[in-house]
Amino acid sequence: MSTGRQTPQEVVSRGKVVTMKTLLLASVAAISIPTLGYAQTTDNEKETIALEPISVEAKADVLTGGIQLDEDELDRIAPKDIKDVFRQTPGATVSSPTPIGQKVYVNGIEDTKLTVDIDGARQVTKTFHHIGTAIIDPELLKSVKVETGVAPADAGPEALGGSISYETKDGRDFLDEDETFGGYGKLTYNTNSNTLSENVALALRHEGFDAIAYFSHDKGDNYEDGDGNEVIGTKAGMRTGMIKLGYTTPSGYRLKFKADYLRDREIRPSRPNFGGAVNPAWTPGLVDYERKSATISFSDDTPTDMWNPVISLSYTNATLFADITNTPIGEGAVADITTINGKAANTFTIDAGTITAGADFYVDEGTGGKESDSNYTEKVYDIGIFSQARLSLSEEARVSFGGRLDYNHLEGNEGSTFDNFGISANLNGEYDFTSWLMGYGGIGTAWGGIPMTEVGIQNYWIAIAPGAAWNYEGLEPSRSYNAKVGAVVEQGAFTFDGNLFYTKIKGSHQVSSSNRADNSDLVSYGINASAKYNFGNGFVRAAYTKAEVEVNGDVPVSTVAYQGIVIGDTYSVEAGYSWPEYGLRFGATGEGALENDDPVENSADKLDAYFIVGLYGEWFPEMLPGASVRLDVSNLFDTSYSHRANVGYDSGNYTPYEDPGRAFVISAKYAF
pLDDT in tens, 184-226: 999 999 999 999 999 999 999 999 999 999 999 999 999 999 9
For residue 334, give the nearest of 371, 364, 365 by alpha carbon: 371
Contact in structure between 144 and 349 (CB atoms under 8 Å): no
Q: Which of 4-18, 361-375, 568-582, 591-605 has the lowest mean pLDDT?
A: 4-18
CATH of 8-480, one of 3.40.50, 3.80.10, 1.20.120, 2.40.170: 2.40.170
- Given a cut of 80, is residue 14 above it in pLDDT? no
- Judge whether residue 4 has pLDDT over 70: no
At 549, the pLDDT band (50, 70, 90 cuts) reads very high
Of the CA atoms within 13 Å of residue 12, those in its CB half-sphere come to 17
pLDDT value at position 41?
Answer: 35
Answer yes or no: is pLDDT of 10 > 90: no
Distances (CA, A) of 209 to 4, 169, 173, 179, 370: 19, 15, 13, 12, 47
User: What integer is the mean pLDDT of 68-77?
Assistant: 94
d(CA 315, CA 339): 6
pLDDT at 324: 82
Q: Is the pLDDT of residue 43 over 50?
A: no
| Residue 172 backbone phi and psi in degrees, to 5 | -70, -20
**What mean pLDDT value characterizes the chain?**
89
Alpha-carbon gap, residue 422 to 409, rounded angstroms: 12
pLDDT of residue 479: 98
Q: How confident is the model over 495-545, as pLDDT tens digits?
A: 999 999 999 999 999 999 999 999 999 999 999 999 999 999 999 999 999
Residues contacting 198, CB < 8 A, separation 6+: 186, 187, 215, 216, 217, 218
Span 573-577, mean pLDDT?
98
Q: What angle do CA 342, 508, 68 make, to 5 degrees?
A: 55
Q: What is the pLDDT averaged over residues 422-440?
A: 97
Listed in sequence order, the DSSP H helices in 169-250 are none
Q: What is the reported pLDDT for 280?
A: 62
Question: Would you place residue 369 in the very low, low, confident or very high pLDDT band (cuts 50, 70, 90)?
Answer: very high
Does a cis peptide bond (omega within 30 degrees of 0) precede residue 280? yes
- Decide if 314 contacts 342 (C-beta within 8 A): yes
Say what the pLDDT of residue 279 is. Answer: 66
Do the beta carbons of residue 446 and residue 158 sit within 8 Å?
yes
| Contact partners, residue 81, CB within 8 Å, separation at least 6 | 99, 102, 136, 138
Helices (H) and strands (E) in the chain, counts: 5, 34
Q: Which one is predicted more confidently, 303 or 11?
A: 303
Gap between the Cα atoms of 180 and 614, Å rounded: 39
Average pLDDT for 437-465: 94
Amino acid at 203: A
d(CA 486, CA 502): 12
Residue extents of the structural domains in the chain: 8-480
What CA–CA distance (Å, rounded) separates 199 from 185? 6
pLDDT number for residue 39: 33
- Overall average pLDDT of the 65-80 stretch: 94
pLDDT of residue 30: 33
CA triplet 347, 351, 355: central angle to 5 degrees?
A: 25
Residue 592 · residue 607 · CB < 8 Å: no
Give Cα separations from 506 to 124, 175, 563 (angstroms): 21, 48, 12
Q: In the prediction, which pLDDT does 55 show?
A: 35
pLDDT grade, residue 281 (50/70/90)?
A: low
- Check: CB of residue 335 under 8 Å from CB of residue 366: yes
Q: Is the pLDDT of residue 110 over 50?
A: yes
17-26, 101-110, 336-345, 554-563: lowest mean pLDDT where?
17-26
In this model, does residue 58 exceed pLDDT 90?
Answer: no
Length of the chain: 672
